[in-house]
Amino acid sequence: MSPSPHHDVVAYALGVLDEEDHEVFERHLMACEECQAELRELSEVPGLLDAVRRDRSNACGDGRTSR
């Protein structure tokens, strides 16, 4: 885990923390208003990244190349 749980907000939002770090961060999140606010700001990022991935896949699938 990072030196401070505050550094794990983005990893948590993206769902890339391992099980132990995920649990530690969730405990931290319950008491940390700063991380709660940052997580709210990041809440749309995973969906946006998925949309970009789909768009790129569709673009590559219809004969266009992506760079």
Under 8 Å between Cβ of 5 and 28:
yes
In angstroms, rounded to a whole number, what is the distance separating the alpha carbons of residues 55 and 61?
Answer: 10
CB neighbour burial string for 43-54, b if at least 16 within 10 angstroms, e if fewer: eeeeeeeeeeee
CA torsion sign for 26, 30, 31, 32 is positive
pLDDT in tens, 36-63: 999 998 888 777 777 888 878 888 875 5
Percentage of the chain beyond pLDDT 90 is 45
